[in-house]
Amino acid sequence: MTIAVTLSDTMRIEPMAMEVRAGEPTTFIVTNAGKIVHEFTLGDGTVQDEHEQEMIAMGGMGMTSDEPNAISVAPGETKELVFTFEMPGMSLAGCHVMGHYPAGMKATISVI
């Protein structure tokens, strides 16, 4: 499964709701349509909260390297992130550049 995702400077991740299958790799094709760096981090609420605290501790400027569940996307850049959600349930995608996540830069992911 492939899902095209757009990150914008209006603090939005589009689509705001996604559905994926548990146990199947999903390729997220993530485009930063804005003029500032954004992140695309996958995980449940706990993962999102932990990453938000890490980013605050680092000054909130964005990740220095990509991770298995997260990528940093420069303005105008498109990157792919392949991720397998192991269990059904709810998950999230979020951007944790300082102030973005609290401003609503997140999307829900239903894992079926």
Model pLDDT for residues 14-42, shown as the tens digit of each residue: 999 999 999 999 999 999 999 999 999 99
50-66 pLDDT per residue, tens: 989 988 888 766 666 78
Residue listed under structure tokens 């146990």: 23
C-alpha to C-alpha distance for 87 and 89, rounded to whole angstroms = 6
Taking residue 93's Cβ as centre, other Cβ atoms within 10 Å add up to: 28
Taking residue 16's Cβ as centre, other Cβ atoms within 10 Å add up to: 11
- Phi/psi region, residue 54 (left: phi>0; alpha: psi -120 to 50; beta: rest), is alpha
In the chain, where are the structural domains located? Answer: 2-111
Tell whether pTM > 0.75: yes
2-111: CATH class? mainly beta
Taking residue 78's Cβ as centre, other Cβ atoms within 10 Å add up to: 14
